[in-house]
Amino acid sequence: MTAATSGRSDVARLRQELLFSALRGIEGSSSLAFAIFEELAVNIVEGRLPPGHEVNSADLARQFNTSRTPIREALLLLEREGLVIVPPRRRPYVSPVALEQVKEIYEIRGSLYTLVCELVVQRATDEEIAALADWQKLLEHDAECGDVDSYFWHNVGFRNAEAQLSRNQELQRRLSSLGLQMHRFRHLSLSLPGRLKHSVADHERLVRAYADRDVALASAVSRSLVLRGYRALERSGKF
Amino acid sequence: MTAATSGRSDVARLRQELLFSALRGIEGSSSLAFAIFEELAVNIVEGRLPPGHEVNSADLARQFNTSRTPIREALLLLEREGLVIVPPRRRPYVSPVALEQVKEIYEIRGSLYTLVCELVVQRATDEEIAALADWQKLLEHDAECGDVDSYFWHNVGFRNAEAQLSRNQELQRRLSSLGLQMHRFRHLSLSLPGRLKHSVADHERLVRAYADRDVALASAVSRSLVLRGYRALERSGKF
DNA sequence: ACTCGCCAAAGTGTCGACACTATGGACTCA
DNA sequence: TGAGTCCATAGTGTCGACACTTTGGCGAGT
């Protein structure tokens, strides 16, 4: 599973896998409804279905060639993930992205990643931390090339790997759910000038802190990483 | 909204309101499905539907006098909340409660309440903190009377009030979702001897830390509160 | 020209039905 | 008696239909 070390990891494949892992967080479900849920979720977080866009079950049923039943189930799940708003008796639409909410999510994410740090420090093996270092090297490389897109997904990969190392499944699930929301605006924060360099440096410090089993430092760095992300977003004035 | 100060707050009413607030976290939805979801959720977290108990849509439809459609939607939501497992093509059943999972949830909860502390310290007004103190007094009273049930629900009330003071709606929602899971085993941890006294003392220290705007102390106390809860549960050997 | 009320068109929530699949008991055969 | 097979029962996932509600545009009245 050392995707990081497997030669040149195709970004597209990575992207797919990461969004899957995020969404599959809660496995099971009735296949069709869940497949539709995934499809719609991806389209929403990638911005192809913009905030406010109407997603009524009748249209979608025609579009997906199914009845409205599985569509409705998918919409319900999307609502739970905060991606869609389903007003009673009214047509559902893609939920808006307000700065206030973005801020809230960043706060939560920061807190949960602090927890991840603590757990990783006390539970991950040296090999696993070495694997994180591999991810970090990918980031370094992307930053040098200025490949923002690749950087973004490798970053997600890094975060994902960290979460796995926490050995806390519930935590992974919650983070995935948050990640879903984050994907809607997160790429904005990286495309800002200078962000990449800071981010790379932080990741490097983070990995080193892990290697040294330094909880305090790791938490601090992780937190600053998230915070910086938010600050950048805020300054971008996109909201 | 100072339920804490309104004379003798009826525990039953409080209970209802708190579970509601937890469940309504995600509002909207199609009334019937959501009502069923609430009903089932309450029954599960209160243990009337024990882990492993089968909850098939056909039976429930008969029981609720509806078709299976809204039932299925409710089950989907319950699955998302982790209260029910819906294996594909197989009958859904109430999810088991494993110690491992309990531990995971306590970890997350601890982390999120640390965040709550930080936010409360920097955002709550003095009056709001005073209101928390009122809740604390209720706890004190319950502890003196040895009224474990009342204590439990006032405790939930206290935690809820704290969450509200964080001024972070997403956080409240996530905590509610966690709380739902927690209710399944949390009452066990309080009924252990000596717990109440410790708990009361911690709450008192917490409120004082808030009043002093002492983030570090508040976080530490809050964390120890959660941790103590888990330890007690662990020692109870119920899992 | 502007507002108000009305009405067809379209969407929602719920239902009962259908094909398909898992389950558990009866029946067979050792 | 005990393991393996078969089948009826019962539940699942999906569908199309139906009554009710919202929507948005058209026309009447000021």
Residues of B in contact with A33 (CB under 8 A): 76
* pLDDT for residue A77 is more than 90: yes
Furthest-apart CA atoms within chain A: distance in Å? 56
* pLDDT for residue A2 is more than 50: no
The mean pLDDT of B5-27, rounded to a whole number, is 63
A1 is written with which tokens? 């599973």
Integer Rg of chain B from CA? 18
Give, rounded to a whole angstrom, the gap between the first and last alpha carbons of chain A. 38
* pLDDT for residue B216 is more than 60: yes
B110 is written with which tokens? 């601890």
Distance CA A10 to C1' D8 in A = 52
Residues of A in contact with B168 (CB under 8 A): 104, 107-108
pLDDT at B4: 46
With tokens 């992780």, the residue in question is A222
pLDDT at A25: 46
With tokens 């206290």, the residue in question is B158
Q: Write down the mean pLDDT value for chain A.
A: 88
**Cα–Cα distance measured from residue B119 to residue B102, given in angstroms and rounded to the nearest whole number:** 26
> What letter does residue A124 receive in the DSSP assignment?
-
**Cα–Cα distance measured from residue B59 to residue A43, given in angstroms and rounded to the nearest whole number:** 36
Range from A148-157, B3-12, B41-50 that averages highest in pLDDT = B41-50
Nearest nt (C1') from A31 Cα:
D13
* pLDDT for residue B7 is more than 50: no
- Residue with the larger pLDDT of the pair A120 and A147: A120
Q: For an interface test with B, which of A32, A104, A119, A164 has the most B Cβ atoms less than 10 Å from its Cβ?
A: A104
The mean pLDDT of A7-33, rounded to a whole number, is 67
Whether residues A108 and B108 touch (CB distance < 8 A) is answered with: no
The mean pLDDT of B30-44, rounded to a whole number, is 90
| Phi, psi for A87 (deg, rounded to 5) | -70, 140
Interacting residues of B10 by C-beta distance below 8 A, sequence separation 6+: none
Q: For an interface test with A, which of B26, B29, B57, B76 has the most A Cβ atoms less than 10 Å from its Cβ?
A: B76
With H, G, I as helix, E, B as strand and everything else as coil, classify residue B46: coil
Nearest nt (C1') from A88 Cα:
C12
pLDDT range class, residue B28, cuts 50, 70, 90: low
Query: Residues, chain A, total?
Result: 239
pLDDT at B25: 46
Q: What is the pLDDT of residues B171-195, one digit of tens each?
A: 999 999 998 898 888 766 666 677 8
Residues of A in contact with B76 (CB under 8 A): 29, 33, 73, 76-77
Portion of chain A with pLDDT greater than 70, in percent: 88
Whether residues A28 and B79 touch (CB distance < 8 A) is answered with: yes
Closest residue by Cα to residue B221 from B91, B120, B86 = B120
Q: For an interface test with B, which of A24, A80, A171 has the most B Cβ atoms less than 10 Å from its Cβ?
A: A80
* pLDDT for residue B30 is more than 80: no
Closest residue by Cα to residue B158 from B145, B146, B142, B174 = B142
**Cα–Cα distance measured from residue B105 to residue B45, given in angstroms and rounded to the nearest whole number:** 15
* pLDDT for residue A26 is more than 60: no
The mean pLDDT of B213-239, rounded to a whole number, is 87
**Cα–Cα distance measured from residue B109 to residue B116, given in angstroms and rounded to the nearest whole number:** 10
Nearest nt (C1') from A61 Cα:
D15
Whether residues A170 and B112 touch (CB distance < 8 A) is answered with: no
- Residue with the larger pLDDT of the pair B198 and B212: B212
Q: For B108, which of A69, A82, A171 is closest by C-beta distance?
A: A171
pLDDT range class, residue B222, cuts 50, 70, 90: very high
* pLDDT for residue A158 is more than 70: yes
Q: For A108, which of B69, B85, B170 is closest by C-beta distance?
A: B170
B17 is written with which tokens? 């309101």
> CA-nearest residue of chain B to A174?
B174
CB A203 within 8 A of CB A225: yes
**Cα–Cα distance measured from residue B54 to residue A231, given in angstroms and rounded to the nearest whole number:** 48
Q: Write down the mean pLDDT value for chain B.
A: 88
Closest residue by Cα to residue B161 from B202, B201, B200, B207 = B207
Q: What is the pLDDT of residues B136-168, one digit of tens each?
A: 999 999 999 988 888 888 999 999 999 999 999
pLDDT at A191: 64
With H, G, I as helix, E, B as strand and everything else as coil, classify residue B187: helix
CB A226 within 8 A of CB A112: no
**Cα–Cα distance measured from residue A111 to residue A171, given in angstroms and rounded to the nearest whole number:** 11
Residues of A in contact with B171 (CB under 8 A): 104, 107-108
Measured between CA atoms, how close is B43 to chain A, in angstroms?
21
> What letter does residue B31 receive in the DSSP assignment?
T
Interacting residues of B30 by C-beta distance below 8 A, sequence separation 6+: A86, A88, B70, B73
* pLDDT for residue B120 is more than 60: yes
Q: What is the pLDDT of residues A79-136, one digit of tens each?
A: 999 999 999 999 999 999 998 999 999 999 999 999 999 999 999 999 999 999 999 9
- In order of their start, the domains of chain A are 8-94 (1.10.10.10), 99-236 (1.20.120.530)
pLDDT at B218: 97
Query: Residues, chain B, total?
Result: 239
Measured between CA atoms, how close is B31 to chain A, in angstroms?
8
**Cα–Cα distance measured from residue B163 to residue B157, given in angstroms and rounded to the nearest whole number:** 10
**Cα–Cα distance measured from residue A118 to residue A140, given in angstroms and rounded to the nearest whole number:** 24
Residues of A in contact with B170 (CB under 8 A): 82, 101, 104-105, 108
